[in-house]
């Protein structure tokens, strides 16, 4: 069976929704497997559960920290549900650490539970500056989100390197908040929901009295997938959480247009990072099960791949999806021209969000980044400039996506320090 290039393109539009700019279910009906399909290799720490008998999105168990209270719906976004004092992550300098569960909203405005971890220096003064740092979480498993991963010592795949970077903020006397920005379903690529979790996590941080941060200034920062959550939070702040005192946000390597990202990746050939692309489409299905029933359009191999990804972190997802393509895992493409599909893409593309970031923005990227649309990113920054937002863009001397993160780190860090210090805001807006 042959499909038009347009239909193939639309399928990849869904499968390249990577929240992480690295871009490269559940479900399946219980039907007999078609003749021979390769069995995926076993991976350390990753079990392949049996194929499900019902069609619906797979969801990783979020754990007891995310338990819903009976009165969740009556709480306001950002209200604290529970807080647990924890030891500081083993790669950070000694600090006071709390995990805070709070009321937030999903993409449909329904109440859900969010979690953020807050680290502050011991015996800190009240209302110190706080950095909300959105880690890169290109994952499907709750074990990969910060509330669990920063304490991982034996699960080397889930264990992140980010805690080393937390020390830059703590040593300067700042607090740092690290939200589980993929939400209680680990809905990878549901960018609008991620932005709301970030903002409600900041609200909860100010409302938890033992931290003494009620009047603190906040900055946002994140790269790639974390940059998408950061960009969404800064874009939604003026309308969703106008009382939150954000002095600036740092966007690094942010994909702002998911459709254009699909075009960068291509539609017909297999890709070494296809696993992240598929995980992103399944993450969106978790958040939009009615609008995007991806799993019901997967073939046997697609369902098997999905089962292996259900609780996987980045490297596992890459290994499972290596060399595959959309054509290999889909049995049909019927849903992809639906208006609901286009609507979900637009809602989760920062470039098409009608809201405008009001706090100053420091944006940096590689000018030759092969994984994001620099043109779309520039257009978004120009739109903010025209609306009066002070934007500073840095085109780093880096050849590709990951190296730009290292090159831009220190300029971005100093920019944030200047915002906390109340210094004049530089801008190189070009239109």
**pLDDT tens-digit series, residues 7-33:** 333 333 333 333 333 332 333 333 333
Most confident of 76-80, 160-164, 290-294, 332-336: 76-80
- Rounded CA separation 361/221 (Å): 10
Domains in the chain: boundaries: 5-34+259-347, 64-257+350-420
Enumerate long-range contacts of 41-46, CB under 8 Å, 24 or more apart.
Answer: 43/308, 43/316, 43/319, 43/320, 44/157, 45/155, 45/157, 45/316, 46/308, 46/311, 46/312, 46/316, 46/320
Task: Give the CA diameter of the chain.
Answer: 67
Q: How many CB atoms lie within 10 A of CB 26?
A: 24
Model confidence, pTM? 0.87
- 80-86 β-sheet, strand order: 80-86, 96-105, 111-120, 175-179, 130-134, 218-223, 246-252, 361-365, 391-395
Q: What is the pLDDT of residues 72-106, one digit of tens each?
A: 999 999 999 999 999 999 889 999 999 999 999 99
Between 87-96, 177-186, 199-208, the lowest mean confidence (pLDDT) is in: 87-96
Q: Which helix (H) or strand (E) is 227 found in, with range?
A: helix 225-240
Provide the mean pLDDT of the chain.
84
Q: Which helix (H) or strand (E) is 116 found in, with range?
A: strand 111-120
- Rounded CA separation 263/13 (Å): 8
- Rounded CA separation 217/208 (Å): 15
Confidence grade of residue 318 (pLDDT, cut at 50, 70, 90): confident
Q: What is the pLDDT of residues 387-410, one digit of tens each?
A: 999 999 999 999 888 889 889 999
CATH 3.40.50.1820 assigned to 64-257+350-420? yes
Please list the helix, strand and coil fractions of the chain in percent, rounded to the nearest 5, in that order: 40, 15, 45
Q: Any residues with CB less than 8 A from the CB of 157 and at least 6 apart, and which?
A: 44, 45, 313, 315, 316
- Rounded CA separation 194/348 (Å): 10
Give the residue from 219, 224, 147 showing the smallest Cα distance to 188.
Answer: 224
Q: Which residue has the higher pLDDT, 350 or 277?
A: 350
CB 230 within 8 A of CB 250: yes
């Amino acid at each position: 069976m042959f499909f038009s290039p347009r239909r193939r393109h639309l399928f990849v539009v869904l499968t390249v929704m990577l929240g992480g700019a690295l871009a490269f279910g559940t479900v399946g009906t219980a039907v007999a497997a078609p003749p021979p399909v390769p069995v995926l290799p076993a991976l350390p720490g990753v079990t392949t559960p049996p194929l499900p008998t019902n069609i619906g999105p797979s969801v990783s168990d979020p754990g007891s920290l995310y338990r819903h209270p009976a009165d969740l719906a009556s709480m306001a976004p950002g209200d604290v549900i529970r807080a647990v004092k924890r030891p500081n992550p083993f790669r950070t300098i000694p600090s006071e650490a709390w995990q805070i569960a709070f009321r937030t909203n999903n993409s449909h405005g329904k109440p859900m539970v969010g979690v953020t971890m807050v680290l502050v220096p011991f015996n800190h003064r009240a209302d110190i500056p706080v950095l909300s740092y959105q880690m890169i979480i290109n994952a499907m498993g709750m074990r990969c989100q910060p509330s669990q991963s920063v304490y991982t010592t034996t699960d080397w795949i889930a264990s992140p390197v980010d805690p080393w970077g937390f020390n830059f903020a703590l040593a300067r006397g700042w607090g740092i908040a690290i939200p589980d920005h993929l939400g209680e379903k680990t809905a990878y690529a549901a960018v609008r929901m991620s932005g709301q979790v970030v903002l409600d996590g900041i609200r909860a941080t100010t409302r938890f009295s033992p931290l003494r941060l009620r009047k603190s200034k906040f900055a946002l920062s994140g790269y790639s997938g974390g940059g998408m959550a950061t960009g969404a939070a800064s874009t939604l702040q003026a309308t969703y959480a106008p009382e939150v005192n954000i002095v600036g946000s740092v966007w690094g390597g942010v994909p702002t247009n998911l459709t254009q990202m699909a075009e960068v990746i291509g539609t017909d050939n297999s890709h070494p990072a296809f696993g992240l692309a598929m995980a992103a489409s399944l993450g969106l299905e978790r958040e939009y099960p009615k609008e995007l029933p991806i799993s019901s359009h997967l073939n046997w191999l697609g369902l098997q791949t999905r089962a292996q990804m259900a609780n996987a972190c980045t490297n596992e997802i890459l290994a499972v999806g290596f060399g595959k393509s959309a054509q290999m895992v889909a049995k049909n493409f019927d849903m992809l021209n639906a208006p609901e599909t286009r609507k979900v893409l637009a809602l989760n593309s920062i470039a098409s969000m009608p809201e405008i970031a009001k706090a100053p923005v420091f944006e940096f990227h590689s000018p030759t980044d092969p994984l994001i649309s620099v043109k779309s990113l520039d257009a978004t920054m120009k739109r903010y400039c025209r609306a009066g937002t002070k934007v500073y863009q840095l085109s780093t001397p880096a050849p590709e996506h990951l190296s730009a993160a290292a090159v831009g780190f220190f300029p971005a860090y100093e920019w944030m320090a200047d915002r906390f210090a109340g210094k004049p805001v530089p801008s190189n807006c070009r239109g």
